[in-house]
Amino acid sequence: MFSEEDIKLETHNGVKRSAKFKSEVIINPFLRDKNYWDKENELFDKIKTAILTVLLVPIRVVCMFILLLFAWCLAYIGIYGYTREDLKLRPLKGWRRHMKSILCQIALSMWMLCGIGVIVKGKRSGRDEARILVAAPHSSFFDAIVIFVTKMSSPIVREEDKSLGKLIDMAQPIYVNREDHNSRQLTIQDILNRVKSNDDWPQTMIFPEGTCTNRTSLIQFKCGAFYPGLPIQPVLIRYPNKIDTFTWTWSGPDVLLLIWRTLAQFHTFVEIEYLPVYVPNEEEKKDPKLYAQNVQRLMSKELNIPTSDYTFDDCKLMENAVRTKLLFAEKLSDVKRFREKIGLAQSQIEEYIVKENFKGNEDYYLEFSEFVQRLKIPADNTSYTLFKFFVSESDIGDVIDFKEYLLHALFLIKYSEPKIELLKMMFMLYGEAGRLHREPFVNNVMKHFVKVKPDQLNKLFYSLDVNNVGSITFNDFYNATKDDKNFAILYKPNRNFRQNHKDSQ
């Protein structure tokens, strides 16, 4: 999809000519529309939800609490005497394994009492046919239903989910710390050990996308499920409902809101479909990345949605941008892609502009023609799309704040380095002749980096401005804060970046 506009461009002889450029409509898989009401019958939906919140939701909550308490007691008994290390090394057997089947029935009964109907299609394979189940798309915490439908297969879960205690431990999961590259490598080894073991382990359940999306596309599959080179069974997850009360992405409604909206429906449905077992050929066995790509394409075809090159790292990039309080944080992964397409990621001309050419006191609101001239890039659909990312509703006309563009570009350029390097560039971006005045120091620069109150920043500024000239240099700031624990975060390396673009589970 494209939006088309006439743009006035300067030719080499100063004569203006008109050209049409198309801005591509980007569908980011990590963003969800914050309007979660029925768009066709919003008033009716709100009235119905209000009534059911009073009459039905309390009953369902009580039922959930009772069944969860009962399930927790059974799980406590089922793994009594086992440590997490024991559960990692050997499968449950005998009556303990039978307890898992009972827990699955309780869990599915709980979903049913909450108005959630589970539809199962296809035939699930046994462990002798496929030791790994690959489920996608991963779009909600409700996807945990598939674990119980598969008779409590062992999932790969985040370390943060250890807080679920006995209930998650009963499934004998493999825990992974997604922020720690070493942990992810250990997780791959744990997967290999388990699926190649001769012990009677349950099938291993993996969500290869690694994070939740809005189901508009299948993002890149991580390679953990495909390293063993063994047959896998793809499992499709669909939510065929008119109103979406399930999708839980990086940006959108939070957990409690989605639970409330789901409980306040008469019924909702989850569809789980087992596809035939996928047996890798010799080339796929040798190349886990190729294996993952081929399974991704197969599943996207069955789901009738496209594949995309988005990854979990894009989600982390946007999350870090939000922490840094960037105005266009939700668009940053797309900004990164389009800068790469144009060649700006290689030239990094923005850093040169800030160091050599940019003057903070000049007019920095630019039209498209001025934007491409400053960056020395061709005026085409790609550059126009990049430009449109920074046109906000508050802007007058089709213009952007070039400072905002430069700030986001510098964030990408300096992402692999300690934050102090970006701060150094911002002294140039918001300063004049290498000096930064108090107001931009407090209001435009430091708000992106540290949680320090404005009065403390003002105090710091005045202590550095010993000659009362009304401005400070980066070196003034650096010398005063390099050993100050309140600013220690500025000097730490970006550990998250070191893990980017590496194969992980």
CB 22 within 8 A of CB 384: yes
The mean per-residue pLDDT over the stretch 433-443 comes to 89
pLDDT at 181: 67
pLDDT tens digits, 304-361: 999 999 998 898 899 999 989 999 999 999 999 999 999 999 999 999 999 886 665 5
Work out the angle at residue 233's Cα, subtended by the Cα atoms of residues 229 and 234, and round it to the nearest 5 degrees: 110
- For the chain, how many residues are written? 505
Over residues 412-427, the mean pLDDT reads 93
Mean pLDDT over the full length of the chain: 87
417 DSSP assignment: S
The model's confidence at residue 443, banded by pLDDT at 50, 70 and 90, is: confident
Tokens of 205: 């359940």
Angle between helices 419-430 and 402-413 (to 10 degrees): 160
The confidence score (pLDDT) of residue 359 equals: 63
Percent of the chain with pLDDT over 90: 61
Question: Can you give the pTM of this predicted structure?
Answer: 0.85
The structure tokens listed for 329 are: 């944080």
The share of the chain scoring above pLDDT 70, in percent, equals: 90
Higher pLDDT, 474 or 1: 474
Q: Is residue 363 scored above 70 in pLDDT?
A: no
**What's the pLDDT band for 180 if we cut at 50, 70, 90?**
low
Q: Please provide the distance, in angstroms rounded to a whole number, between the alpha carbons at the two ends of the chain.
A: 34
Confidence (pLDDT) at 7: 53
The pLDDT of residue 60 is 95
How far apart CA 229 and CA 288 sit, in angstroms, is 7
Looking at residue 201, the DSSP 8-state letter turns out to be P
How much is the pLDDT for 498? Answer: 45
- Rounded to an integer, what distance in angstroms lies between the CA atom of residue 104 and that of residue 151? 6
**Nearest Cα to Cα of residue 114 among 29, 52, 31:** 52
